[in-house]
A = this chain, B = another copy of it.
Amino acid sequence: MTRIARYHVEAQTGVGFLLKQEQLLTIIDPQGEQSGDLVAFGQTDKTEWLSSGRSIDYNGTIYLTTGHVLYSNRSTAMFTIVEDTVGKHDFLFASCSPEMFRREYRIEGYHPSCFENLGKNLAPFGITGDRLPTSFNFFMNASVLPTGAIKIAPPLSRPGGFVRLRAEMDLIVGISACSAPGCNNGTCKPIDVEITGSMST
């Protein structure tokens, strides 16, 4: 298995890249207790995008882990989760954004956000912020209580914990290290991303 690329995503930043069908995308939490956001679009046709609603429906669960498939708005498999040392990820929330920090953290000035970081890093691929769908929240520890209320606890990821996804089609991918202290046990930390596979696929 050839290493094709590795990105160190600094705290409160993001990265955008291309992923080919059959390549493996490993998202690593180097320090532990850090979540992040993943969004994806078709390389061939950018109007195809990773859909929370299709993925929740077809997997029949809101918690996603090994063996689950992440689907596009057109019901096409985009990723399969092939390995997962953390075991809990969700698909409930849109990326944290300046408006979210104003609303939930009462921050009126500038604050970095997954929304900004995904938009900035996907812009070179022609994806604008308005097109960002509800994101796959990896390592996020959100639990739905019987009332329907959502409780966010520190991520279950330990240092070096990872989730590995196989690309099922050619993709444009955006990943951010989450900028919201409340989702990351108080401190925003980096995320590592590794792409492995064959160059020729």
Q: Which of A's residues lie within 8 Å of B, judged by CB? A: 47-48, 51-54, 56-58, 60-63, 73-75, 92-95, 97, 99-100, 103-104, 128, 130-135, 144, 146-150
Contacts and interface: CB of A to CB of B under 8 A. Distances in A.
A144 B130 CA distance: 29
Nearest to A51: B94
B147 A53 contact: no
Contacts of A130: 47-48, 73-74
A11 B144 CA distance: 32
Nearest to A96: B57
11 contacts: A51-B134, A56-B93, A56-B150, A58-B100, A60-B149, A60-B150, A61-B149, A73-B130, A74-B99, A133-B133, A134-B134
Instruction: Give me the 3 closest cross-chain CB pairs, A-B, nearest first.
Output: A53-B94, A53-B134, A63-B148
Given A53-B94, A61-B149, 20 more contacts: A47-B128, A47-B131, A51-B94, A52-B52, A53-B92, A53-B133, A53-B134, A56-B93, A56-B150, A58-B100, A60-B149, A61-B148, A62-B62, A62-B92, A62-B148, A73-B94, A75-B99, A75-B100, A134-B134, A146-B146
A61 B150 contact: yes
A99 B63 CA distance: 22
A48 B131 CA distance: 9
Contacts of A56: 92-93, 150
B57 A144 contact: no
Contacts of A133: 53, 133
A194 to B, nearest CB: 27
B134 A93 contact: no
A54 B104 CA distance: 12
Which of A92, A100, A133, A148 has the most chain B CB atoms inside 10 A of its CB?
A: A148
